[in-house]
Each structure stands twice: as C-alpha cells, then as structure tokens.
Amino acid sequence: MNIFLVGEAATHAEKLADRLTCGARIVPLPRQAAHAPDHDGQIGPRDVVVSLRFSRPPGATPVFRLLHVPGAGLDGIDFASVPPAAAICNVFEHEIPIAEYVTLAMLEWQIRLRELTARFTARSWSDLYRSRPPHAELYGKTLLLIGLGRIGRAIATRARAFGMRVLAVDGHAQPAAGLVDKVFAPDELDDALPTANFVVICCPLTDDTRGMFNTRTLGRMRGDAVLINVSRAEIAQEEDLYIALRDKAIAGAVLDVWYRYPKGADDHVEPASRPFLELPNVIATPHTSAWTTDLPWRRYGFIAANIDRLAGGDALANVVRPAA
C-alpha cells in the first residue's frame, strides 16, 4: 500500500510515519496533484490519498482505496471525482485551538491589549495613567454560535468560564444543559441575531449556509456587535459584509477565513476582492485559528490509526462517504 500525501499534507510525512504501524510506503506529491493528473500513474487500487482538495475531469480519476482529508472541511473535495471504490474520511482535532482563538478574539476586542501596550512608554506613563480609559469585559455578554458541532461546543465551554450567556443556531444539535442557554432553529436566525454581542460563524459551508450573512441578516445584528468567522468566508457575502463594516452597521469583525486562496506553489492572490485589511474595525488573520504546533500531531495520529484500520480490514472512523 502507498500513501500519497498531497501538497501541505506532504510536510507532515514524518508525523504520519511515526504513528503508522502497517508498513505502508509514504509518497509526497506537489500541491498541483490535487487537481492535475500528472502523477496519477503512480496511484493504484490499494492506495491511499491524503489531501485537503481533490478534483479530476470526468473519466480521468485514478482508482484508489481511501481519500483521507486531513481536516474537517469537505468543500475542497469534488465527490464525483473520487472513485466509488474509495471511502472518504475526514479528521477533526481542531476544535481546541479554534475555541482558544475565538476566546482570544473576544478578549482582545473587549480589552484592546494591543492598543494599550502600543501606547505605553516611559514618557507617556504619567499621562496615560491619569487619563486611562476603562475597557470592557466578557462577563455578562451574549455569544451567539452559528453551529453547535465540535467547534461550537468547545467555544461554548470556554465562554461559560468567562460568565457569558451562550446561544446557538443549529438545526440538528440538542440543547446542552449547562453549556448553552438556548438553541434556535435556522429559520429563527433573525430572532437570535439582535440578542448577541458576539456572533461566531462555526458551521460548515453548505448550500443552506452559503451567503447566510448578507445585507438583511447583518442588518439584524446589534450596532455594537462583532462578527467572528472561523469557518468559511462564503458564509458571509463578501460585498455585503464589506459595506456593513465600512459603514459601521456592525462594530467590527474578526476574520480568519477568506474568499480567495492560492492553488499552486507560486501563484499570488488577494484574500478578497474588497479591501477588508484596510478597515480599522477588522482584525484579520491568515487562516491560522487552528494552525498550532500540536494540531498536526493529533490529526496525523488519527489518520495513521485509520490507515492501520484499513490495512487490517477494520471499520474506519469518521467515514464521510463509504466505499461502494
């Protein structure tokens, strides 16, 4: 059995090898192999492909046994391109760092630590002390989670520790006693939005959630509310979000996910068609909320265990689509 690690996954070959027990051969492939057939001649029917993205033209798909996505999101996978004989699995483990990131984002918005430290010098100390402005607290504020899956629950756990009121919008999750005060149905979004100081998008990108935040729904948010997006940019319509932030219809946003991403090793793209990074009420980060030093060890440990299950004929974990 060969395991083909595509693009960014190839940088974690040693982590996978350290946890793998079945003796499979690990083969790194360039980022372009997610979409181009140049290396397909190496891939055989017993092999595994590990890639965040995968697509092929009709009739040009190699036959293999398992596509393991090294993340939770599946919007980079063209399911029709994956051979029916291949199972598709994903992996989580990112809810811990994302929840910490969201907590930090809310604390930063309330305390403004970066501004405080930037202004503080030995010469400014006396005047700053005499005129120091009060900062806000998280305690007693209302958090609205758009999605109550693994990430949403991890965020709710941390928000509870700060004394926040926690609400959620989710069409499938059951109310969690002591964790969430109320769960709204998706068609109750308009009722939930005006109650929240912070709105966190942590649901998957689907046909139902694409464009969920637009001029109308952004207009339902409080004027002092902050939108935090750690899921997919397209859940908020780009132009509508930019205008709402530019015109300060909402107080601000913390954006970690973007509308454009590089596909090749050498291409350079802007993160969006609108200049979000120039807005003073936007905190922007380059899709790093989950990207910690510990995350790859957990993820590739999980992938190694799943490949060992495959080699041993055991049931796979986190099956998104079983093999035909």
Global pTM reads 0.85
Contact 244/225 with Cβ under 8 angstroms? no
Q: Please give the single-letter amino acid code of residue 108.
A: E
**HSE-up of 204 (CA within 13 Å, CB side)?**
14
Give CA–CA dist 300/9, Å, rounded.
Answer: 9
Give ∠ CA 262-35-56 in degrees, rounded to 5.
Answer: 145
pLDDT in tens, the chain (324 residues): 999 999 999 999 999 999 999 989 999 999 999 999 999 999 999 999 999 999 999 888 899 999 999 998 898 999 999 999 999 999 999 999 999 999 999 999 999 999 999 999 999 999 999 998 899 999 999 999 999 999 999 999 999 999 999 999 999 877 677 899 999 999 999 999 999 999 999 999 999 999 999 999 999 999 999 999 999 999 999 999 999 999 999 999 999 999 999 877 788 999 999 999 999 999 999 999 999 999 999 999 999 999 999 999 999 999 999 999
Contact 1/47 with Cβ under 8 angstroms? yes
Matching residue, tokens 């994956």: 82
Matching residue, tokens 């265990």: 305
Q: What is the pLDDT of residues 57-97, one digit of tens each?
A: 988 889 999 999 999 889 899 999 999 999 999 999 999 99
Tokens at residue 32, please?
């372009």
Q: What is the pLDDT of residues 131-171, one digit of tens each?
A: 988 999 999 999 999 999 999 999 999 999 999 999 999 99
For residue 202, the tally of other CB atoms under 10 A from its CB is 28
Q: Which residues pair with 282 in a beta bridge?
A: 253
Tokens at residue 164, please?
């926040």
**Hey, what's the torsion of the CAs at 30, 36, 40, 43, to 10 degrees?**
60
Tokens at residue 282, please?
């936007």
Give ∠ CA 75-81-86 in degrees, rounded to 5.
Answer: 95
Contact 164/142 with Cβ under 8 angstroms? yes
Contact 186/208 with Cβ under 8 angstroms? yes
Tokens at residue 36, please?
């181009």
Give CA–CA dist 319/306, Å, rounded.
Answer: 10
> Beta strand 198-201 with 226-229: parallel, antiparallel or unpaired?
parallel
What are the structural domains, with CATH classification, of the chain? 2-93+293-321 (3.40.50.720), 95-284 (3.40.50.720)
Matching residue, tokens 């080699």: 311
Direct distance between the N- and C-terminal alpha carbons of the chain, in angstroms, rounded to an integer: 20
Spell 159-177 as b/e; 16+ CB within 10 A means b.
Answer: bbebebbbbbbbeebeebe
Contact 197/225 with Cβ under 8 angstroms? yes
Give CA–CA dist 178/173, Å, rounded.
Answer: 14
